[in-house]
Amino acid sequence: MCHVIVTCRSMLWTLLSIVVAFGELIAFMSTDWLVGFPQTPDAVFGATAAGEAYRPTLGIYGRCIKLSHLQHGVLCGPYAVHFGEIASGFWQAASIFLAAGILLLCSVAFISVFTMCFQSIMKKSIFNVCGLLQAIAGLFLILGLMLYPAGWGSDKVQLYCGQDAAPYRLGLCTMGWAFYTAMGGTVLTFVCAVFSAQAEIATSSDKVQEEIEEGKSLICLL
């Protein structure tokens, strides 16, 4: 018989796991990792067209620029059509680690929805398994974020950040919200990994067992 068990701690872990997964995914896809120095439209292509200065943004595989012939905002999209076109080898490695971490987080977020009905898999606590996966994902994310600044010396970054840009030195750029979101998500990933143990304790408590013995199929505890 399937017992639907909902506790405050297990629900909080589920919601936080989903938020972290989506936050990391959105950050990875964003072009706002680096905010370039003020430029005129087409400047990133070496043109000298006059226009109102703006600050282009550069992501791991995408960018946002303003072209002189566009009258309705900036043009955003991937600059790298193939994996080998990503700005530097360090960014390629970073993208692999970040993608692996995000894949694990999204898998855990999907599984967490079903933890209300299934608390174990192959006699292993599903919360403990998910917590372990989140810890591994956190390590992947840390490796990706450590490798990312090593690619700041690439020609692509110097086009946006000036010739002073070098590994672990921003030059004229500033960090965008996507980088800080990825960092915050990494911290919360480890919080989720630790909190999964509390979710396991909450769903296997004596109160839960008492209500199961009473024949209840829907169990809600604060």
Domain range summary for the chain, segments of one domain joined by +: 4-31+88-220
In the block, residue with structure tokens 């209300």? 116
The pLDDT value given to residue 111: 92
Going by pLDDT thresholds of 50, 70 and 90, the confidence category of residue 213 is: low
User: How large is the average pLDDT for residues 125-152?
Assistant: 95
The pLDDT value given to residue 52: 65
Spatial neighbors of 78 by CB under 8 A, at least 6 apart, are 61, 62, 63
Q: How does pLDDT run across 87-96, given as a tens digit for each residue?
A: 899 999 999 9
The pLDDT value given to residue 190: 97
The pLDDT value given to residue 42: 57
Going by pLDDT thresholds of 50, 70 and 90, the confidence category of residue 8 is: confident
Instruction: Indicate the pTM of the whole model.
Output: 0.85
Q: How does pLDDT run across 34-75, given as a tens digit for each residue?
A: 999 887 665 555 444 445 677 899 999 999 887 766 566 678
User: How large is the average pLDDT for residues 174-184?
Assistant: 96
Closest to 39 (Cα-Cα) out of 58, 61, 15, 59: 58
Name the fold adopted by 4-31+88-220: Butyryl-CoA Dehydrogenase, subunit A; domain 3 (1.20.140)
Spatial neighbors of 147 by CB under 8 A, at least 6 apart, are 90, 91, 93, 94, 97
DSSP 4-44: EEEEHHHHHHHHHHHHHHHHHHHHHH-STTEEPPPB-TTGG
The pLDDT value given to residue 219: 62
The pLDDT value given to residue 3: 66
- Least-confidence region, from 36-40, 74-78, 121-125: 121-125
Q: How does pLDDT run across 101-117, given as a tens digit for each residue?
A: 999 999 999 998 888 77
